[in-house]
C-alpha cells in the first residue's frame, strides 16, 4: 500500500515521513492552513532525497503557473482539486492526480469523465477544497473501482491510524492520502505519522 503525507511545511517532517516509508509528499499551493510558497516548497524539496514523489496541490490554477511551479520546485506530480478540465489534466508535463469530492454514487460516476492516471476520492469540499479532515461513505467507491480501467485510486478524507485499515479494506485503493489525521494542533506529529504509515502498509 502506497502512502502520501500531504501538507508538508518543513524539511524536518518531510524527511522524517520519507524515512518512515511514505511514498509521496504533498505541498499545498492553494488556499489552506497548510499553504506554502513556491520558495518554501523549493527549499524543502532541495533538502530531500530523490526517492518519493513530490506532489504540488493546486486549485483552478493556470497551466502556465503549474508548469512553472513544477520546474521551479522540482515537483514530480500535480494534484488538482478544483474544476479543472480533463484536457488540462492531460496536458501537463508530469502525471496529474484529479481529486473528486464524493457525496453520492452520482459523484462517483461523474469521476469517470476524467482520464487522469490517478483519481483521488475525497470528502466533499467545504471552506477548503481538500484537507478538511472529514470522512465519507467509502462504500460508494465500489462502483468507482469497477470502472477505473487501469487508472489508480487514491483515497483521502479524514483518514487516521485508527480508521485507515478499515478504509483500505472497503475502498481497496492504490494509495492513501493523509494530512490533518497525522497532526497535533495543526502541526505534523512524528508519532502519528509513523503509526499511520505502519497501519496503512500492514493493511490487506
Q: What are phi and psi of 3, to 5 degrees?
A: -130, 135
Q: Write the DSSP symbol of residue 85.
A: -
Q: Catalytic residue at 122?
A: yes
Q: Which three cell numbers stand for residue 162?
A: 485508527
Collapsing DSSP states into helix, strand and coil, what is residue 91?
Answer: helix
CA distances to 14, 52, 69, 185 from 100, rounded to whole Å, are 25, 23, 22, 27
Q: 107-116 burial, b for 16+ CB within 10 Å, e for fewer?
A: bbeebeebeb
Q: Which three cell numbers stand for residue 187?
A: 502541526
What contacts 48, CB < 8 A, 6 or more positions away?
Answer: 11, 14, 15, 18, 25, 54
Q: What are phi and psi of 84, to 5 degrees?
A: -60, 140
Q: Catalytic residue at 6?
A: yes
Point out the catalytic residue in the list 6, 23, 73, 177: 6
Point out the catalytic residue in the list 23, 73, 122, 177: 122
- Sole residue written with cell 489534466: 89
Q: Answer for the pair 99, 80: CB distance below 8 angstroms, yes or no.
A: yes
Q: What residues are labeled active site?
A: 6, 122
Amino acid at each position: 500500500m502506497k502512502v502520501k503525507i500531504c501538507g508538508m511545511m518543513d524539511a524536518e517532517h518531510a524527511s522524517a515521513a520519507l524515512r518512515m516509508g511514505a511514498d509521496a509528499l504533498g505541498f499545498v499551493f492553494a488556499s489552506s492552513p497548510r499553504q506554502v510558497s513556491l520558495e518554501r516548497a523549493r527549499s524543502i524539496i532541495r533538502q530531500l532525497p530523490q526517492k518519493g514523489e513530490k506532489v504540488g496541490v493546486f486549485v483552478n490554477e493556470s497551466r502556465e503557473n503549474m508548469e512553472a511551479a513544477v520546474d521551479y520546485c522540482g515537483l514530480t506530480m500535480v494534484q488538482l482539486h478544483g474544476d479543472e478540465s480533463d484536457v488540462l489534466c492531460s496536458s501537463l508535463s508530469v502525471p496529474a492526480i484529479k481529486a473528486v469530492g464524493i457525496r453520492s454514487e452520482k459523484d462517483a460516476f461523474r469521476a469517470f469523465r476524467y482520464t487522469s492516471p490517478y483519481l483521488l476520492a475525497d470528502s466533499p469540499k467545504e471552506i477548503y477544497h481538500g484537507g478538511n479532515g472529514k470522512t465519507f461513505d467509502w462504500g460508494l467507491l465500489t462502483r468507482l473501482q469497477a470502472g477505473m480501467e487501469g487508472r489508480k485510486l487514491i483515497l483521502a478524507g479524514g483518514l487516521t491510524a485508527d480508521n485507515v485499515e478499515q478504509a483500505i479494506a472497503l475502498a481497496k485503493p492504490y494509495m492513501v492520502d493523509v494530512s490533518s489525521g497525522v497532526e497535533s494542533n495543526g502541526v505534523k506529529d512524528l508519532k502519528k505519522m509513523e503509526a499511520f504509515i505502519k497501519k496503512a502498509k500492514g493493511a490487506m
